[in-house]
Amino acid sequence: MFDLIGKKAVITGGGSGIGKAIAIVFASQGAEVHVLELREAAAQETLTEIKAAGGIAHVHKCNVAVQSEVKAVFNTLSKVDILVNNAGIAHVGNLEHTTEEDLDRIYQVNVKGAYNCLQAAVARMKESGEGGAILNLSSIAAQVGIPDRFAYSMSKGAMHAMTLSVAKDYLASNIRCNSISPARVHTPFVDGFISKNYPGKEKEMFEKLSKTQPIGRMARPEEVAALALFLCSDEAGFITGCDYPIDGGFIKLNN
CB of 230 closer than 8 Å to CB of 243 = no
DSSP code per residue over 31-97: -EEEEEES-HHHHHHHHHHHHHTT-EEEEEE--TT-HHHHHHHHTT-S--SEEEE-------B-GGG
Rounded Cα distance between 111 and 247, Å, is 22
Considering only CA atoms, which of 70, 22, 15 is closest in space to residue 44?
15
Give the active site residues: 152
Cβ distance 88 to 149 under 8 Å?
no
CA distance 131 to 194: 42
Q: Count Cβ neighbours within 10 Å for each residue of 166-180 and write b for 16 or more, e otherwise.
A: bbeebeeebbbbbbb
